[in-house]
Structure 1
């Protein structure tokens, strides 16, 4: 029986929550899987032009990861892949593909793995859980990865919290963005990161939108990556003057995320963000998005929607 898997994009770090904090947004990678005698992999749409149309495709390899964890061979199927998530922009395109594939593989096998095992498979493949956890569970997720497993707390987003993203028209690879980070940090920077990440998680949990601007300060990765993203430093320092509740580099970038209060207009914020792009000779999109709360969804053609 044919089924569809839909996994959302995600924004990770959110300032000080490096490799441990993220949220999901409603831009989706979608798989349509039909069991059949021979495996076919079919990338669809311009975003996936040039990606492998065989079993070396990242999504299909993710399906095989689920089979490996389950200790069973993956049955053959036709796998059609489409995505709305822009690649190499800091919106978790690889995490959405990975999670969609792992969930699809598990579904194809009859769901032998629980959600915690799916998260652990995904986090170990990515090397960190900050994108894959919200892609799988939706909402805002705090997660850690260690020798004993992947551990997480999922939070419903506070009321009236919305997201504005500036998505530039240039790509930035995660490997390049990680390469500029220092190998060591001072104790003061470590304390700053720990205290602000803790404050940010607490602010989300209690709906303290007034604390976001302060809690999202970061010295661990954003200051080092700022030269790779023209205008980032200006946005981090000035966006609050134009209605942003807080601002951060989204994942490894170059997308920049601003929180806003959904009860207020974002017109001034949009004008400001477009102005920053123009000032730096960039083009791109500015979008207002809700925080996705559903996470990855499976829908069977004849049985309705299932999570």
Structure 2
């Protein structure tokens, strides 16, 4: 077994209310993946989240790694993965995006290259949208969009220094495919106009004027339509918002994202069934470093 790379990749909260498939915020909660090049085959171990999964060519990190190697003409006869996962799975915290970014970043590092626009394109092709993967790649606030092709793009914006997210993570899991199926094919023009204005305001609030976050994170595009999938999540969102906290569903749910400036929630809010986790904003994105064969 030769040396390899260690990839540290952050979680992310997407949508942030009105920014459906457009906004993502990187969070200081990390999966750490060691990738070593071996003679042949795919092997690995997982601790933490997803420890029950088998590491083979169907594993998402491996699939992303092999696709990146093919794109970069990198020869990988075999790989050994050691994953230490802290990002909860199927909660709306970007665990699949983080796995994809880990594989893509590892491929680039093994090829001796820095991630570029092609890395975002490849990661977004796996994910189907770029908000989470862009946040995990670049850190900070990601503003993502797609053009016909599809061609995926994103810009990184610097979140306001006072932003202190609080995540409320339930034990129950959700599935993006299921919750997307609850969305209507069309929405009223008034709701679309409302979303456009609020999404623009959300970018301003998250980067410049946190005092506007409660108004800026109002949503009419997706959260109410998907309430049947996670009614307790929407109860907490509404209770927090009624107490002046800019709360939204995190990604596809069922976790709740609360944008605060002090990392605290109001006393008396019923968070039964949720683990309350204050988290810093990750501002650096995915990190890679060279490791030897005995690093862990």
Of 286, 290, 293, 1:300 maps to 290
Tell me if the contact between 1:243 and 1:266 (Cα under 8 Å) persists in the aligned partners: no
Is 1:150 aligned with 2:163? no
- Cα distance per residue 1:131-160 (max 9 Å; x no partner): 000000001110112236322221111021
1:77 deviates by 2.5
Partners of 2:170 and 2:11 in 1: CA distance: 16
Q: How does 1:1-307 map to 2 (within 5 A)?
A: 1-111=3-113, 114-147=115-148, 149-205=151-207, 207-242=208-243, 244=245, 246-262=246-262, 266=264, 268=266, 271-272=268-269, 275-277=270-272, 283-301=273-291
Instruction: Give the secondary structure class of the aligned counterpart of 2:31.
Output: strand
Structure 1 residue ranges without an equivalent (≥5): 278-282, 303-307
Deviations 1:225-246 (A, max 9, x none): 12222333333333145462x1
Cα distance, 1:79 vs structure 2: 1.6
Contact 1:41 1:57 in 2 (8 A): no
Identify the range of structure 1 (141-150 vs 154-163) with the bigger mean alpha-carbon deviation: 141-150
> Which segment drifts farther, 194-203 or 50-59?
50-59
SS of residue paired to 1:52 = coil
1:4/1:176 CA distance change after superposition, 3 Å: same
CA distance in 1, matches of 2:47, 2:291: 22
Query: Aligned pair in 2 of structure 1 residues 147, 69: CA closer, same or farther (>3 Å)?
Result: farther
Is contact 2:60-2:99 (8 Å) kept? yes
Are the counterparts in 2 of residues 5 and 104 from structure 1 also a CA contact under 8 Å?
yes
8 Å CA contact retained: 1:75, 1:108: no
Q: 2:49 is paired with a residue of what secondary structure?
A: helix
Aligned-CA RMSD value: 1.9
* Contact kept in structure 1, 2:165 and 2:260, CA below 8 Å: yes
Aligned to 1:268, the other structure's residue is in SS state coil
Work out the number of aligned pairs and report it: 289
- The structure whose residues are more often helix, as a share, is 1
Runs of 4+ in structure 1 over 6 Å off: none
What is the CA-CA distance between 1:276 and the residue it aligns to? 4.1
Q: What is the distance in 1 between the residues matched to 2:131 and 2:4?
A: 30
> Bigger shift: 102-111 or 227-236?
227-236
| Gap runs ≥5 in structure 2 | none
CA contact (8 A) 1:162 1:259 kept: yes
Q: In 2, distance between residues paired with 1:33 and 1:300?
A: 10
> Are 1:123 and 1:145, in contact at CA under 8 Å, matched by a contact in 2?
no
Bigger mean CA deviation after superposition, 147-156 or 84-93: 147-156
TM-score using structure 2 length: 0.91
